Structure 1
C-alpha cells in the first residue's frame, strides 16, 4: 500500500503536469494498438465524430483519480467499471469485453507511463525514490479501477519490461489508421479559429506522435523519422524544459487539480452536469448506437 496521493507526493506532482498533454496522441496510438482495445474503439467509441467532447470527458475522469480525493476516485472507478461492462462485441470471430483483464491492464499501463515519459522528454527524469513512490501510488489507483493485482508488475523495473514486451508485439491496425485520419481531418473545436492555424494542429500532433513513440514501433507503423526531425524535436524539448522545470509543481498541475475538484462537485450535482455537458457524469460516454 503506497502513501496517499496528497500534495507533494510523486503522483500529485507528475500525473497532472501540463507537459503530459503533449503525449496524448502517443498514448492513444499505443492503447488502440492492443487488438481488444481496437475492437472496443471500433464498436463503441464516438471519438471520430465528436473528439473534443470525448477528450474533455476523458480528462475529467482522469483528474478525479489523483486530485479528486479518495471518495471521489472510488466513485469514479465504480462508474467506469459499470460503464465498461456494457462494451462487448465480436472481433475476428471471438467475443471480447472492455474489461478483458489484459487489455484493461494495458490501458492503465499506458496512462502510468505518460508522466514518466513526459519528464524524460521535456523535464527532469524522476529519481529512483520518486519512481518507487509514483509507481506504488499508481498501482493503488489501478487496483481501485479493478486491474487485477497479478496484472500489476511488482516494481518499476518489472513494469518497464512488461511495457516493452507489450509494445514489441504490436503492429499497424485499422484503429491506428483511423486515429491518424481523425487527427488529419478533425473539425475545428471553435468556428472562429483560423483554418490556416488549425492545419498546423494535425502537423504538430503527428510530429509529437512520431517523436515520442518507441522507435521500433514507429518503424513498424511506417512513420518516417529523420535526423532533421530529431534536431527539431530536441530544440523544442530543450526550450520547454527550460521554461517549465523551474515552475513549482503546484503551478504545473493547477489545471488538472481544479478539474478534479470541479468534477467531484459535478458528481454531487448531476443535474447541473447534465445541463452543461449532456452526460451522466465526468468521463461518461454512452456506447455508440
Structure 2
C-alpha cells in the first residue's frame, strides 16, 4: 500500500524537481514514438500551432494530479479521461483511441520514468527503497487517471524491463519528425517580442533542446531515430551535468519542487473559481 503523496514522501520530493524539465523534449519523443500516441497527437493536438499554451496546460495538469491533493487529483483525472474519449480516428487503416489501454499506460510510464532519470543524470540516483515508494505512489496516481493495474508492472524492477521492451519496439514516424521541426520553427510566445530577437532565441533554444533530446534518449532509440551522438557530444554533456548538479546543491530540497506545488494549488483554486480565468491574459 503506497503512502499518499504528501510532504516528505518520494513522489512529493522528486516528481516536480526542476531538473526534470530538462527531460521534457525526451519525454515527448518517447511518447509520440508509440504509434497510437503518434496518431492521436497528429490528429488532435495543437502543439505545432501553439506549443506554449500546450506546454503550460500540460504542466498545470501534472502539477494538479501530483500536488493538488486527493480532490484535485480526482477532478483532474476525470477531466483528462473525458477529454481523451474524444480523441479517436484512423491510422494505417485501423481505428485508434487515445484511451487505448497500452498507449494510455505508456504515456503515464514516461512521466513516471522522467524524474528518476533526472535524478540519475543531474542529481543523486534514488535508492531502492525510494524507488519502491515512488513507483507505488505513481501507480496509484495512474489508477486515478484510469491506467489499469494490469497495464503497468507490479514492481520497479519489472517496470524497468517493461520500459526497455517498449522502447525496443519503436522507431521513426511522422509525428516524431514533426516534433523536431516544431522545435526548430516554433512561433514566438509574445507578439511584442521583436522578430529578429526571437529568431536568435529560437535558434539557440532549438539547439539546446535538440542536444538534450539526443543526450538523454536511450541509445537504442536514439540510433533508430537517426540521431548522431559523438564522443565530443558526450564530453559536453558530462560538463553540463556537473554544472546542473552543482547549481542544484544551492537550492534547498523543498524549493526544488516549489514551482510545481504552487502551480498545482493555483490550478486547483482556479478550477473551483472558473470566473477567475477572465482576469488571466
Place the TM-score, normalised by the shorter chain, in its bin. Answer: over 0.9
Provide the rounded CA distance (Å) in 1 between the counterparts of 2:188 and 2:83. 29
Provide the rounded CA distance (Å) in 1 between the counterparts of 2:189 and 2:237. 26
On the 8 A contact 2:50/2:187 being kept in 1, the answer is no
Pairing 1:34–2:38 present = no
Kindly report the root-mean-square deviation, in angstroms, between the aligned alpha carbons of the 2 structures: 1.1
Residue in 1 that maps onto 2:243: 239
Provide the TM-score with structure 2 as the length reference: 0.96
Pairing 1:192–2:193 present = yes
Provide the rounded CA distance (Å) in 1 between the counterparts of 2:251 and 2:151. 35
Residue in 1 that maps onto 2:124: 124
Provide the rounded CA distance (Å) in 2 between the counterparts of 1:43 and 1:244. 39
Structure 2 unpaired stretches of 5+: none
Deviations 1:134-158 (A, max 9, x none): 0000000000000001012110000
Deviations 1:253-285 (A, max 9, x none): 1100000000000010112225537xxxxxxxx
Provide the rounded CA distance (Å) in 2 between the counterparts of 1:43 and 1:56. 20
On the 8 A contact 1:124/1:245 being kept in 2, the answer is no
Provide the rounded CA distance (Å) in 2 between the counterparts of 1:118 and 1:258. 21
On the 8 A contact 2:185/2:202 being kept in 1, the answer is no
Provide the rounded CA distance (Å) in 2 between the counterparts of 1:276 and 1:129. 42
Provide the TM-score with structure 1 as the length reference: 0.94
Structure 1 unpaired stretches of 5+: 278-289
Deviations 1:163-207 (A, max 9, x none): 000000000000000000000111222343723233100000000
Which segment is superposed worse, 267-276 or 62-71?
Answer: 267-276
Matches within 5 A, 1:181-260: 181-190=181-190, 191-192=192-193, 194=197, 195-245=199-249, 247-260=251-264
